[in-house]
Structure 1
Amino acid sequence: MKIAQIDVIEAVIPFDDGGSGMGITPGRWDSLELVLVRVQTDTGLVGWGDCFAYSCRAAVATAARGMVAPLLQDRELAATPEALMLEVQRRLHLFGRYGITLFAISGFDIALWDIAAKAQGRPLHALLGPARRSELQAYASLVRYADAALVRKYCRQACEQGYRAIKLHEIEPDIIRAGRAAIGPDIGLSVDVNCAWSTEQARERIALLREVDALWIEEPIFPPEDIRTQAELNALFPLGAGENACTRHEFARMLEAGAVRFAQPSVIKVGGVTEFAAVAALSEAKGVAVMPHSPYFGPGYFATLQLSAGLAGEPLFEHLYVQPAADLALGGTPLPRQGVVSIPQVPGHGFEPDPQVLARWRV
């Protein structure tokens, strides 16, 4: 079986979050930017992948088409794609080991694992090891509102919908306190500040995190690769990080430094299923919990569910708490119900696009 056809597809689907859309991305964030990878074999099997593309869609699509696709066209496929995808990483290492290059590689890796699982007629998680669960507790991952009233509104709404955990992306203490007050003491709360605090602010706000009984603080300082300072902070309060890390090697350095209590690989950034699975194995060996980063929709959402089936401990699934204008998945995305999301048990990772939706929002 070999790769016969590759398509890189761009799409943009608007979403509503009830806020201004300002605060984290370079401009207004009010749409899901997608770079999808469609890989078809000479036997007719089709795999779908997902490259991280928020605010960088054009660059990622160009890398996918011009850098990764030519290395995979007409290649023979083994039972699983690890060796081939590591070869691709080696071939492209001179052009940027991390960032855009790995975002593009991630999409192809996910697509090839989808094909591998379909070829065996098994769910993707079955190729990776024993399943520990068929459903996951999900948490509502709120956007940054920078507005206490909106934080209270959406925290309460998420609780009413059955979520038992919520993540804020707020950076101001009073707004973080407003979130805890809105949900009460029995709902899990984590705080992701997206590297917005100085080291001094992070140290000072350990008391605040203890006050609101946060489960973890996520990426408190800039730059995210400052693992020495992260390790110092992690010794004071549970720290989560990894959404900006690519490959198992960056995670190995974090784990060896004691820089995280919660490792947070993103399958559409880290290098796909191949690298995510390696990170999970390293983390389990170190006794560090994996809390996947997954505020996206499409193949990456489905792949994260599949990977979470075998994770050690009690992983939570991050669900971006927004309302897209359309559901790209044929048959519907398995969304959380009463705070619980089911893991698809069909061959592959479970994602197939709705052709009408894709045609409507394709760029």
Structure 2
Amino acid sequence: MRWYEPHEEEVKFLCCCFCEEALGLLFLSPSAPQHTDPDYSAAYVVLETDGGLRGFGLTFTLGKGTEIVVCAVQAMTGLVVGKSLEEIVRDFRGFYRLLTSDGQMRWLGPEKGVIHLATAALLNAVWDLWARMEGKPLWKLLVDMSPERLVSCIDFRYITDVLTEEEALELLVKAQEGKRQREEEMLREGYPAYTTSCAWLGYSDQQLKQLCTDALKGGWTKFKVKVGADLDDDVRRCRLIRQMIGPDNTLMIDANQRWDVSEAISWVSNLAEVKPLWIEEPTSPDDILGHAAISKALAPLGIGVATGEQCHNRVMFKQFLQAGALQFVQIDSCRLGSVNENLAVLLMAHKFRVPVCPHAGGVGLCELVQHLILFDYICVSASLSNRMCEYVDHLHEHFVCPVVIHNARYMPPKIPGYSCEMLESSVKKHQYPDGDAWKLYPKK
């Protein structure tokens, strides 16, 4: 942990000190096709004001390389320390562009890769700080903003051929109708979720059956299955899951970028009998035209394509939507440039009438993205048709304000902030490389 002390005269509101912490939580995730040995980890950022208020942010990783993200955060420190929160949020678009357009660091992106993960962690902390200062959970902070204020947070550079500032404002103004009723609905009933916890690769049939049985008893009706390692085994496992959950519940499949385009089409066609709603990440996350080809080939089978958890930025999402390359948008709260860039994607998805079904499940991703999807329903899409948010039932015990799931729905957080803050005990135990938890494992 390093502390950065700005000159006293520079302190207005934000950041008399700033620290970065990379937390390796050592959660050995159930296997996914392309991520066979992950250590779920996070780069964790804390912003502190001269008044003692703190904001917390993070970006999720899979272990090795987290220290690189921390280095990127450190490199951006000079752009943040000494500024006031009022100064930042008064021109949030300008601040976003300041972080993403540094004359030298921009070369490392621009707006993608490690430098963008670091940007997300920093901005997540700023949004958390702002929400705490206003005494509201992040979703409520967004819901209570005027359309004009929301639009002022978005950088429209590179996307005006699809969504202009004027169009975004019009969409938000139109969605004001019924907003309070939708907010009350969410507070009462929560936002629909689906589970990824029942069908990771490597689970035995007995374990699959037990997990599905337990989930069904808990009210779950939407299930995602990891596929891509072995076709015959995928067919068998998906048949088993479909038999367990019945014909009326929803099944999705996720390949985590496993296949080439033609292989994806062939493989998923062989799984069409189990009627998956979508195939997630069937090929390289950068291959927009490949996703378009897969979407076109699978459309007659009634299977959509979902992707976005590793989509670099709003520009790529723009092109995915333009090309008809996805039928489900999967935003990520730590891959894109925090709330600011996710707002742009939510609005573009709404314009193209493509449902948003966020990615979650890693360290803090459920805690974060619940705020964004609540805002999307209340203030943008006003629809729950084919919409759901991913949920994975691990690592929530490390957070001060963990997600609350009731009847397979995300219940809106009520504590001020972006739900990023981790327990001090978890920070102390899992901080890399000196935390007690790391002493139990050899360095890789």
Q: After the TM superposition, which of the residue ranges 33-42 and 342-351 deviates more from structure 2?
A: 342-351
Indicate yes or no: 2:254 matched with 1:246.
no
1:147: Cα distance to partner?
4.9
SS in 1 for 2:126: helix
% identical aligned pairs = 23
Q: Which residue identity lines up with residue 162 of structure 1 in the other structure?
A: G
1:177: Cα distance to partner?
2.4
- Matches of 2:418 and 2:32, distance apart in 1: 33
Give CA deviations for 1:312-355 in whole Å, capped at 9, x if unaligned.
2223221124x44x71112x512423312212123222343221
- Matches of 1:82 and 1:346, distance apart in 2: 26
Cα RMSD (Å) of the superposition?
A: 2.2
Check the 8 A contact 1:146/1:170 in 2, yes or no. no
* 1:234 corresponds to: 295
* 2:3 corresponds to: none
- Matches of 1:178 and 1:104, distance apart in 2: 41
Indicate yes or no: 2:59 matched with 1:51.
yes
Check the 8 A contact 2:57/2:420 in 1, yes or no. no
Structure 1 residues 22 and 219 mapped into 2: Cα distance closer, same or farther (>3 Å)? closer
Check the 8 A contact 2:34/2:257 in 1, yes or no. no
1:206: Cα distance to partner?
4.2
Q: After the TM superposition, which of the residue ranges 125-134 and 340-349 deviates more from structure 2?
A: 125-134
Among 363, 370, 377, which residue is 1:305 paired with?
Answer: 370
SS in 2 for 1:128: helix
Among 285, 302, 306, which residue is 1:224 paired with?
Answer: 285
Q: After the TM superposition, which of the residue ranges 131-140 and 305-314 deviates more from structure 2?
A: 131-140
* 2:414 corresponds to: 345
* 1:94 corresponds to: 107
Among 220, 238, 243, which residue is 1:163 paired with?
Answer: 220
TM-score, scaled to structure 1: 0.89
Check the 8 A contact 1:327/1:357 in 2, yes or no. no
Check the 8 A contact 2:121/2:334 in 1, yes or no. yes
Larger radius of gyration: 2
Structure 1 residues 4 and 301 mapped into 2: Cα distance closer, same or farther (>3 Å)? farther
1:11: Cα distance to partner?
1.6
Indicate yes or no: 2:40 matched with 1:32.
yes
* 1:4 corresponds to: 16
Structure 1 residues 41 and 161 mapped into 2: Cα distance closer, same or farther (>3 Å)? same
Check the 8 A contact 2:221/2:245 in 1, yes or no. no
Check the 8 A contact 2:109/2:115 in 1, yes or no. yes
- Matches of 1:95 and 1:203, distance apart in 2: 34
What does 1:138-157 correspond to in 2, within 5 Å? 138-142=193-197, 144-147=200-203, 149=205, 150-157=207-214
Among 389, 398, 405, which residue is 1:328 paired with?
Answer: 398
* 1:117 corresponds to: 131
What does 1:207-286 correspond to in 2, within 5 Å? 207-221=269-283, 223-235=284-296, 236=299, 237-286=303-352
Q: After the TM superposition, which of the residue ranges 79-88 and 93-102 deviates more from structure 2?
A: 79-88
Structure 1 runs not aligned, ≥5 long: none
Indicate yes or no: 2:422 matched with 1:357.
no
Structure 1 residues 351 and 22 mapped into 2: Cα distance closer, same or farther (>3 Å)? closer
Q: Which residue identity lines up with residue 320 of structure 1 in the other structure?
A: V
1:15: Cα distance to partner?
3.4
* 2:89 corresponds to: 79
- Matches of 1:39 and 1:351, distance apart in 2: 12
Q: After the TM superposition, which of the residue ranges 89-98 and 277-286 deviates more from structure 2?
A: 89-98
SS in 1 for 2:55: strand
1:209: Cα distance to partner?
4.3
- Matches of 1:282 and 1:22, distance apart in 2: 30
Check the 8 A contact 1:273/1:303 in 2, yes or no. no
Check the 8 A contact 2:235/2:271 in 1, yes or no. no
Structure that is richer in helix per residue: 2
SS in 1 for 2:16: strand
Check the 8 A contact 1:263/1:292 in 2, yes or no. yes
Structure 2 runs not aligned, ≥5 long: 1-12, 144-178, 229-233, 433-444
Give CA deviations for 1:4-28 in whole Å, capped at 9, x if unaligned.
22111122223366x5x47432x52
SS in 1 for 2:421: coil
Paired positions, count: 353
1:240: Cα distance to partner?
0.5
TM-score, scaled to structure 2: 0.74
Q: After the TM superposition, which of the residue ranges 303-312 and 283-292 deviates more from structure 2?
A: 303-312
- Matches of 1:141 and 1:147, distance apart in 2: 12
Check the 8 A contact 2:16/2:48 in 1, yes or no. yes
